[in-house]
Amino acid sequence: MQKVLPTILSRCQRFDLKPIPNELIVSRLKKIATEEKVEATDEALQCIARMADGGMRDAQSIFDQMISFCGNKITEPEVLDVYGLVSGEKVAALAGALAAADHGTLVAIVDECDENGRDLVRLLSDLQGLVRKALLDAISHGGKSSLLGGVPMTTEQITRLLDGLRPGEGSVKLGLAERINFEVTLLKAVEASRARAIDSLIKELVSLTDDASAEAGVKKKP
């Protein structure tokens, strides 16, 4: 856009297209599957929609490719294997390990994904999407969310976790040691989510001091 001459740009009409929700993409793919007499599981279609990133044309192209690879029956494991993706359940398990600071489970999941040839760059993107969903859930539910597992996390913790994941995109995608960079990114994100902002600590200390002063004042009264 910056390279287009102003005289040409002034005569153009700009359209900002928003990503299509996964639900609409899945609905459209189901209609196509019915018309083409293709049996595709809901999990497989959800996986295709997730991979399309809101693009209907991309979703249809991926669907056509899966028909070419698998014929008239398409399941989620087949989609995962063809494109090197990680299942939604595995992404959720990894997010739960991040939330619980379970380093052992975290490393074990990464090892499994790497040994099975999964796309770690895509996994990081899917992980960020799930963490963002938890952040929105925390904002709308009083500042806490349990979407990342059994451990409730505050808005501040989830924000720090998401902020810790973002810098890893470049190193995982362009670095020479993809797996190591991915593991380091996750471990740094865990530490970031466990840190406390200085202003939060000050507010908590002030609150404790006020409570202690109030209690001392009550005891001094005859």
- CA distance linking residue 93 with residue 95, whole number of Å: 5
So what's the pLDDT on residue 43? 93
So what's the pLDDT on residue 128? 93
Equal fold, 22-83 vs 88-196: no
So what's the pLDDT on residue 186? 94
So what's the pLDDT on residue 16? 73
Which conformational region is residue 152 in: left (phi greater than 0), alpha (psi within -120 to 50 degrees), or beta? beta
Q: 145-153: list long-range contacts, CB under 8 Å, 24+ apart.
A: 148/95, 148/96, 148/98, 148/99, 149/92, 149/95, 149/96, 149/97, 149/99, 149/100, 150/96, 150/100, 151/96, 151/99, 151/100, 153/99, 153/193
pTM metric for this prediction: 0.74
So what's the pLDDT on residue 172? 85
Domain boundaries, the chain: 22-83, 88-196
The pLDDT tens digits of the residues spanning 138-189 come to 999 989 999 998 778 899 899 999 999 988 888 888 777 889 999 999 999 9
Residues of the chain with pLDDT under 50: 218
So what's the pLDDT on residue 198? 54
Residue 144, SS3?
strand
* CATH code assigned to 22-83: 1.10.8.60
Q: What is the assigned CATH class of domain 88-196?
A: mainly alpha
So what's the pLDDT on residue 34? 94
So what's the pLDDT on residue 217? 55
What token pair was written down for 38?
Answer: 């293709």
